[in-house]
Amino acid sequence: MASTLTPTPPKAPAAPAVRRMVLGVQEPEDMDLPTDPIPLNMGPSHPAMHGTVRMVVDVEGEKITNADIQIGYLHRCFEKESEYATYTQIFPYTDRLNYVSPMLNNVGYALAVEKLMGIADKLPERVSYIRVIVGEVSRITDHMTCLGAGAMELGAFTVFLYLLKAREWLYELLEEISGARLTHSYVRIGGVSGDLPDGWGAKLLDVIKRTREVIVECGRLLNRNRIFRDRMDGIGIITKEDAIAWGVTGPVGRSTGLDYDVRKDHPYLVYDRFDFDVPIGSVGDNFDRYMCRLEEIEQSMRIVEQALAKIPAGPTMIDDPRVRLPSKTETYNSIEAMIAHFKVIMDGIHVPPGEVYSFTEGGNGELGFYIVSDGTGRPWKCRVRPPCFANVSVLPKVLPGLFIADIVPTFGMINMIGGECDR
């Protein structure tokens, strides 16, 4: 299950004596002049902070002694809006949670509501395959954006442009099926909103072939790059025990050695039919997080290829009158279908009362939806368990001891997405 991929063994951080000699750094003990601790404010609008976050770090010289990370600058009230919207109207809100991998949020939310209704295991097979394919394509765009932005902040602008070029190809494909490049709202409760167009599968395979070449090239540019390695190796180490105690999952958690991937441990949809590896890191530093993501792109591409080969024909929506909209010919020609259409849209899908916590593998880790239903067409509570909320909450423990310049790659590899962290 674990992948044994590490191109070069991770470098141990240099011992203090060597550092002093090589870098000319003076530890505070042997400095003549004492330093005063000063608070340094980074953000909330800062070029190197993905999304808006404010970090108030206490520094002595360049070394951080205390980091206070203040989030909430993008709090768009997902939960409150969900209480006023029908279950189908929540899909656009879920798009904007982790907005670099919107399909994964859609799929996670749809699965939660379907579990509450008891139809999660009755979905047509084609629906499950389509959801897996578009989810993995979204995961690829997520990781590419993270790596591209992270590399750009360290100065590797070329990698950023190459990865964005590849991301454009994927955006065009997702736009063909859903109509929007970024905020798709493609999934519906009980199925997906539209079938895959003809020839889409062949186009996707071609794009994957070209994306693989781009990923290999970016790996060649960065993996053994002296500057990149020096800035990422040994920096921002999260231990496995901390990852478990803080609830850190996803590529960040797996880079610490924690062997937890929801797709493998608790398979949902049709993930158990595909053969793919899960990259596990060993040290838990920035470079491990980078490698985990890079390898996960490759594994996602493998899943998509296998899924496209095996996808069956069939309906794209479950035939349950509680959730499906009647076809247009029926709606316009019979009064019962028109009323049913009206009720499903205006009243919302009536979900039986109950509570469920449904979890899937989001781009950053375990994406959970805890939905409390009171029997009407609008949820009583729709909570997102955001993976990057837990990932970022471990940073105040990781940052002290690093230099200010180390914040940039560390924060970049944690991949905080403001829409998900603040909801």
Partner 1 sequence: MGLEIYNTTVQAAVNWARKFSLFNYPFVTACCGMEFMSTAAPKYDIARFGAEFPRFSPRQADLLIIVGTITERQAPALRRVYDQMCEPKWVIAFGVCASTGGFYQNYSTVPGADQIIPVDVYIPGCPPRPEQVLDGLVLLQERIQRGEGHSQIVLKAEAGHDVPIAAIRPRDKQPHGAK
Partner 2 sequence: MAQIVLDRLVATFTGGEIEQIGTQHGNEWARVRRDAWRAVGAFLRDDPTCDMKMPTDLTAVDRLNRDPRFDVVLHLYSVTKKHRVRLYAGVPEDDCNIDSLMPVWPGLDWFEREAYDLYGVRFKGHPDLRRILMYPEFVGHPLRKDYPKEKRQPLIRRSGLPGSPE
Which DSSP letter does residue 97 get?
T
Which DSSP letter does residue 358 get?
E
- The piece of 68-76, 144-152, 332-340, 404-412 that touches partner 2 (CB under 8 A) is 68-76
224 binds, among partner 2, partner 1, none (CB under 5 to 8 A by kind): none
DSSP, collapsed to helix, strand or coil, labels residue 163 as helix
Q: Which two tokens stand for residue 102?
A: 């919107």
Q: What residues make contact with partner 1 under the rule CB under 8 A?
A: 44-47, 51-52, 72-77, 80-81, 92, 95-96, 99-100, 145, 149, 161, 164-165, 167-168, 171, 181-183, 418-419
405 binds, among partner 1, partner 2, none (CB under 5 to 8 A by kind): none
260 binds, among partner 1, partner 2, none (CB under 5 to 8 A by kind): partner 2
- The piece of 15-23, 27-35, 269-277, 366-374 that touches partner 2 (CB under 8 A) is 366-374
Strands 54-60 and 63-70 come out as antiparallel
Q: Alpha-carbon dihedral of residues 163, 275, 105, 375, nearest 10 degrees?
A: 170
CA atoms within 13 A on the CB side of 336: 1
Binding mask 72-101 for partner 2 (x = CB under 8 A): x--x-x-xxx-xx-----------------
Cβ 330 to partner 2, closest distance in Å?
31
Under 8 Å between Cβ of 222 and 159: yes
399 binds, among partner 2, partner 1, none (CB under 5 to 8 A by kind): none
Cβ 278 to partner 2, closest distance in Å?
14
Assess 354 for contact with partner 2 (CB under 8 A): yes
Cβ 99 to partner 2, closest distance in Å?
18
- The piece of 136-144, 155-163, 170-178, 257-265 that touches partner 2 (CB under 8 A) is 257-265
**Measured distance CA(396)–CA(388) in Å, rounded:** 14
Residues 6+ apart with CB under 8 A from 36: 60
H-state helical runs in 183-334: 200-222, 226-232, 240-246, 250-255, 262-265, 286-310, 328-333
Q: Which of 58, 50, 114 is nearest to 413 (CA)?
A: 50
| Amino acid making up residue 411 | F
Q: At what angle do helices 286-310 and 125-153 cross, to 10 degrees?
A: 150
366 binds, among partner 2, partner 1, none (CB under 5 to 8 A by kind): partner 2
Cβ 217 to partner 1, closest distance in Å?
15
51 binds, among partner 2, partner 1, none (CB under 5 to 8 A by kind): partner 1
Q: Which of 142, 269, 137, 126 is nearest to 196 (CA)?
A: 126
Cβ 419 to partner 2, closest distance in Å?
13
Residues 6+ apart with CB under 8 A from 309: none
Cβ 86 to partner 1, closest distance in Å?
14
**Measured distance CA(1)–CA(267) in Å, rounded:** 14
- The piece of 31-39, 122-130, 188-196, 381-389 that touches partner 2 (CB under 8 A) is 381-389
**Residue with token string 């591209």:** 148
**Footprint on residues 391-420 left by partner 2 (CB under 8 A):** 393-394
Cβ 161 to partner 1, closest distance in Å?
6
H-state helical runs in 24-156: 78-83, 91-95, 102-117, 125-153
Cβ 399 to partner 1, closest distance in Å?
21
189 binds, among partner 2, partner 1, none (CB under 5 to 8 A by kind): none
63 versus 184: smaller Cβ distance to partner 1: 184
Cβ 393 to partner 2, closest distance in Å?
4
**Measured distance CA(374)–CA(371) in Å, rounded:** 10
**Measured distance CA(362)–CA(365) in Å, rounded:** 5
Instruction: For residue 354, give Cα distances in angstroms to 109, 180, 351.
Output: 15, 33, 8
Cβ 372 to partner 2, closest distance in Å?
6
- The piece of 31-39, 219-227, 260-268, 342-350 that touches partner 2 (CB under 8 A) is 260-268
Instruction: For residue 140, give Cα distances in angstroms to 30, 168, 294.
Output: 48, 12, 9
**Footprint on residues 206-245 left by partner 2 (CB under 8 A):** 244-245
Q: Which two tokens stand for residue 304?
A: 């998509």
Assess 254 for contact with partner 2 (CB under 8 A): no
Residues that bind partner 2 (CB under 8 A): 70-72, 75, 77, 79-81, 83-84, 115-116, 118, 244-248, 258-260, 265-266, 354-357, 359, 366, 368, 370, 372, 380-381, 383, 385, 389-390, 393-394, 422-423
